[in-house]
Amino acid sequence: MSVPVLLVLDADPPPRLGRLTGRARIVRTDAAGLAARLPEADVLLVWDFASTAVRDAWPGEGPRPRWVHTASAGVDHLMCPELAASPAVVTNARGVFDEPIAEYVAALVLALAKDLPRTLDLQREGRWRHRESQRVAGTRACVVGSGPIGRAIARTLGALGVRAAVVGRAARTGVHGPEDLDRLVARADWVIAAAPLTEETRGMFDARRFGLMQPSARFVNVGRGQLVDEEALVRALTDRWIAGAALDVFQDEPLTPDSPLWRVPGLVVSPHMSGDTVGWRDELSAQFVELYGRWEAGEPLPNIVDKQRGYVPGH
């Protein structure tokens, strides 16, 4: 009896798939070879989660994998109309990044409230300058994105005494609907973007929305770079519409050395690392191997993406 063909869109370091020996014929490919390999695959593992190769290769001729798994929370890099319309099941790495990203957001909130970036600048300059910092407990946060990452952020900030309101696609218990977003943004001390990229969320943080924020507010994006009008954010910071911001994701990655974002006053820039803790690749590999076992046994898969919405629906 032949074993299923597992096609891996590879990246370095590769996934640890030793537990699938004898259970799958593993074929590895890069972006250039993906289109030619797709027709022979039963399963596609998108390990190179920064690549858009799936979106480009899927519309071609021939059979397509029955199951596509991406080792990432977001799926915008692989979705295309042909994949959305196909019978292929798409799953993501939901659950791996929730707590690490929440911890990262909490670290940014504390760093901005306690003016740590300025403290490090003054240390490098050898200057002793006493300042007062902001209390975090008792402040308000608006967390935009009601998936596991957004909810983990709200819980973690809550442990610091922050009153966090979560906004999602639709109102439900513990989650505000989009009709409340402007009101919550206008009263928040911290606005946290953790939403998936969809047609509804693309560019949602624009000049109008930054203009609603308090002059003392800070903005943090750990969702997708395309959620933010970066020019509008630069203006909001330069003209002091808001007090500060931190971006971990960007419209174009990596940032080039001449990007103006490196030098915007009050902006903390990090290289898309909020969810990446020591051992994260091993966790992603272990998650996929577990899901493969379910698929192999004909059991229902978790983390199934609604291909029309572009994310795993909440419960």
Place of tokens 């969702």: 223
What three-state secondary structure class fits 258? coil
3-state secondary structure 104-143: HHHHHHHHHHCCHHHHHHHHHHCCCCCCCCCCCCCCEEEE
Choose the catalytic residue: 69, 169, 176, 224. 224
Q: Which two tokens stand for residue 78?
A: 């692989």
Active site (annotated) includes residue 16:
no
Strands ordered across the beta sheet of 140-144? 163-167, 140-144, 190-193, 218-221, 244-247, 267-269
List the Cα angle 270/271/273 in 5-degree steps.
90
DSSP for residue 72: S
Whether 244 contacts 218, CB under 8 Å:
yes
Active site (annotated) includes residue 224:
yes
Instruction: Name the helix (H) or strand (E) containing 221.
Output: strand 218-221
- φ/ψ (deg, to 5) at 67: -140, 135
Q: Quote the CA–CA distance of 29 and 248 in Å, as a whole number.
A: 29
Strands ordered across the beta sheet of 43-46? 25-29, 5-9, 43-46, 67-70, 89-91
Choose the catalytic residue: 231, 253, 290, 299. 253
Q: Quote the CA–CA distance of 175 and 171 in Å, as a whole number.
A: 5
Measure CA 230 to chain center: 17
Choose the catalytic residue: 55, 272, 281, 309. 272
Q: How many CA atoms lie within 13 A of 25 on its CB side?
A: 9
The catalytic residues are 224, 253, 272
